[in-house]
Amino acid sequence: MDTDKWFSKLLEDPGNDLVRKAMDEGQIPIGYSCSYVPDVMLSVDGLFPVRMRAPGVAGTELADNYLSSVICSYTRSLLEFGLDGRYDFLQGWVFAASCDHLRRLYDNLEYLRRPGFSRILDVPHKTGKAAIDWYTEELQLLAKSLTDHFGCNLGAAALTKAIREHNAFNAILKAIGEHRRSDHPSITGTEYHRLVIAAGASPKKTLIPILEKIREDLPTRAPLPPYRARLLFVGGHLDDPGYIGIIESEGGLVVGDRLCTGSYPGLQPIPETGDPVAALAKYYLTKTSCPRMMEAFNERAEDIVSLAREYRADGVVIQIMKFCDTWGVEAASFFSHIREAGIPVLRLERDYRLGGEGQLRTRIQAFIESMGK
Amino acid sequence: MLKKYFGGCDVGSTTGKAVILDENGKMIAGSIIPSEIDPEITARKALEKACTSAPGVGDTENLSYLIGTGYGRNEVPFANENISEISCHAMGAFWCDPSIKTIVDIGGQDMKAIAVADDGSVREFAMNDKCAAGTGRFFEAMSRIFRMDLDEFSKLSLSARKTIPVTSQCSVFAETEVISLLAKRNPPADIAAGIQNAVGKRCFTLLKRVGLKPRLTVTGGCAKNPGLLMELKRLFQIDIVPLTVDPQLIGALGAAILASGKGSLR
């Protein structure tokens, strides 16, 4: 089996074959859209999470009727898919009020296309004790509403089990990603990103055997052909591996990432002891490291510099979605911070849908050339 | 011993350009042709035209090293390699005048600001978005509304007595706006000044991103637009250095210079 093709196929449709199969077996898919949503809580007792994407979206004619012109194209594309019925298979969704755009998505979906179960989490903008306590309570309410609606068991034992399985799964993904650190990596950033996105788009358990096989095979896989530069790829939501594919086709191998939909900060282990809801609240609130947080500005920028050094990246590419206020503002300070650290950096703006390929290629090629590579 | 020749081929969206250098680094030929639908055909035709007019070359087969650049650079299979037009414009302008530190390149469908390092490489660059507003395509559309050819339209704003602002950034909306202004019998030269002003402001935004260091030059097909050059000079408050080579050929020239650097090592 050509695993790369198989994973590509999985990403073509939000309700992919694995999702349909799990549904046929009686499992319940719940959509979510942001890293602040504790997907672990949607992986308990017959539920499974589906990170919402809009693969292949061609236009947003329906959504444009409801959203203002300054709403980002990710939000717009999700609403489009919601309105034209491509998310009808979901039996519920959980959003996070992480930015105003996603709040508008929730409002509109709630009004226009509400599924059986719908909830939005109130996410504090700080990570101190009071905020964690608040978020713990918010997650307790989520657990209660899931239990009330679906009759599933979200007790402490069930949640602890789900955390353990989540950590075990992420450990496999992380181990695969570690191969990118090598001087001669045997996995591209594109292939790796495809695995990570597939993990969010499918019932995780079904992917374990194939991911285990990839992990086993990687040490003996031939190194990739020569490339021109090692890059760290930074940004918020990006679920199209094709974008990284274009960068890599110009000779910039993506050896590390800091993406909401990537390996860092998302694949760190969650504590498996103590009160699971409190552990989840603390983990998701403090580890997500989103520019929406009104603190730790320097730490977030420094994190990127440290990652670039850790992965021995020759340069950093920051990509932001147009009209994303949170990333748009903070990317400017990231840019100067990274440059002051002596690391070449390129900032790219993009739409959710991959377009303008020629210009993207020119920018990447010129960036690599300007590094003298 | 046979002489060595080096080629640069800039396959743009609107025109294809080729430049040939001899082994002494002298530019011996340059060509500009309208782009074909197929970039490979554009490249072949531009190169054939340049090679035919280059004394001693005659055929593209006689080039020791060829570098492709421009939006169609990946479609020049007979080139030894391809390099982005950003690096090529930097090198081409630097070769003409090493004191150039900043370039505005305005081509058929995009616009770039380039900060040049002391060795002719790219220090920093910024590029417009995928929209073609403020590029050659935009000027072509505008000239059609004025029922003029491009050359005539490019000079129209030079006789303006005032600038009538054209507020729309989008080519399609700007067209509608300009038609309305003309219908109200506003002087065409004053509207043309507004169009040049709108494009100049787009350049200004890009230049701010890379930092404007003297000396500044303008390259690409739109560098032949005197109305735009006058507006850029007024907006930037800085002289625009004219180059010794046709500014539309600078990308191809840069590619040929980089080709001579690589080809001489062979």
- Contact check, Cβ <8 Å, A369/B130: no
Three-state SS at A264: coil
Residue in the structure block whose two tokens are 């989008």 = B170
Inter-chain Cβ pairs, chain A and chain B, closer than 8 A: 39
Q: What is the pLDDT of residue B262?
A: 84
Q: Which residues of B touch A359 (CB under 8 A)?
A: 110, 127, 129-130
**B251-264 mean pLDDT:** 91
Distance CA A351, CA B222 (A): 28
Residue B76 confidence (pLDDT) above 80: yes
Interface test mutation site (partner A, options B84, B85, B130, B206, max chain A beta carbons within 10 A): B84
**CB of B111 within 8 Å of any CB in chain A?**
no
What's the structural domain count of chain A?
1
In the predicted model, is pLDDT for residue B130 greater than 70?
Answer: no
Chain B residue with Cα closest to A249: B74
Q: Is the pLDDT of residue B170 over 80?
A: no
Residue B110 pLDDT greater than 90, yes or no: no
Domain assignment present for A200 = no
Residue A119 located in a structural domain? yes
A78 lies in some domain: yes
Does residue B79 have a pLDDT over 70? yes
At B218, list the tokens: 């303008």
Q: Give the integer Cα–Cα distance in Å for A126 and A130.
A: 9
Flag whether A276 is in a domain. Answer: no
Residue of B nearest to A366 (CA): B84
Nearest to A94 by CA among A106, A85, A82: A106
- How many whole angstroms separate alpha carbon A34 and alpha carbon B126? 31
C-beta of residue A163 within 8 angstroms of C-beta of residue A49 = no
The Cα A18–Cα A201 span in angstroms is: 9
Q: Is the Cβ–Cβ distance between B10 and B69 less than 8 Å?
A: yes
Minimum distance, in Å, between the CA of residue A195 and any CA atom of chain B: 29
B205 part of contact set with chain A, CB < 8 Å: no
Strand partners, A325: none
B83, A369: Cβ pair inside 8 Å? yes
Those residues with Cβ within 8 angstroms of residue B203's Cβ, 6 or more apart along the chain or in another chain: B104, B106, B111, B113, B134, B232, B235
Q: B219-242, pLDDT tens digit by residue?
A: 999 999 999 999 999 999 999 999
Q: Among A136-145, B69-78, B165-174, B189-198, whose mean pLDDT is lowest? A: B165-174
- pLDDT level of residue B1 (50, 70, 90 thresholds): low
Supply the pLDDT for residue A269: 95
- Return the pLDDT at A253: 98
ipTM of the complex: 0.82
* Structural domain span for residue A38: 9-153
Give the span between the Cα atoms of B174 and B145, in whole angstroms.
11
Let me know how many helices (H) and strands (E) chain A has, helices first: 14, 8
Q: Would you call A366 and B84 a contact, using CB atoms and an 8 Å cutoff?
A: yes
Residues of A in contact with B86 (CB under 8 A): 362, 365-366, 369-370
Residue A232 resides in a domain: no
In this structure, is residue A158 part of a structural domain?
Answer: no
Is B83 touching A (CB cutoff 8 A)?
yes
Phi and psi at residue B217, to the nearest 5°: -135, 165
* B110/A366 Cβ within 8 A: no
pLDDT greater than 60 at residue B266 = no
Look at B122 and A366 and tell me if their CB atoms are within 8 Å.
yes
Could you give the angle at which helices A73-83 and A100-112 cross, rounded to 10 degrees?
10
Sort A59 into a burial class: Cβ within 10 Å, 0-12 / 13-18 / 19+: exposed
B124 contact residues in A (CB cutoff 8 A): 370
Q: Which residues of chain A have pLDDT under 70?
A: none
Is residue A146 in some structural domain?
yes
Which value, to the nearest 10 degrees, does the dihedral of the CA atoms of residues B83, B84, B89, B95 take?
A: -20
Contact list in A for residue B130 (CB cut-off 8 A) is 355-356, 359
Q: What's the pLDDT band for B197 if we cut at 50, 70, 90?
A: very high
Q: How far is CA A16 from the centre of its chain?
A: 18
Calculate helix-pair angle for A204-217, A156-178, nearest 10 degrees: 30
Question: Which pLDDT score, from 0 to 100, does residue B10 have?
Answer: 96
Rounded Cα–Cα distance for residues B122 and B112 (Å): 12
Six-digit token string for A310: 């850790």
Residues of B in contact with A357 (CB under 8 A): none
Shortest Cα distance, chain A CAs vs residue B125, angstroms? 8
Q: What is the mean pLDDT of residues B254-259?
A: 97
Domain of residue A64, CATH code:
3.40.50.11890
Angle (CA) B106-B108-B110 rounded to 5° is 55
**A359, A364, A367, A371, best to mutate vs chain B, most B CBs in 10 Å:** A359
Choose among A359, A369, A370: nearest Cβ to B127: A359
Give backbone dihedrals phi and psi of B160, rounded to 5 degrees, phi first: -70, 145
Among A355, A363, A372, whose Cβ lies nearest the Cβ of B127? A363
Note whether A362 contacts B122, CB cutoff 8 Å. Answer: no
Q: Which residues have a Cβ under 8 Å from the Cβ of A228 and sit 6 or more positions away?
A: A250, A251, A252, A368, A373
Across the interface, whether the CB atoms of A358 and B71 are under 8 A apart is answered yes
B35 near A CB under 8 A: no
Is residue A89 domain-resident? yes
pLDDT at B55: 86
Tell me the two tokens of residue A13. 């449709």
Mutate to test the interface with B, among A349, A367, A368, A370 (most CBs of B within 10 A): A370
Domains of chain B, first to last: 5-88+248-263 (3.30.420.40), 99-242 (3.30.420.40)
Whether B129 and A356 lie within 8 Å, measured CB to CB: yes
Asked if B124 is an interface residue toward chain A (Cβ–Cβ < 8 A), one would say: yes
The span from the CA of A194 to the CA of A238, in Å, is: 11
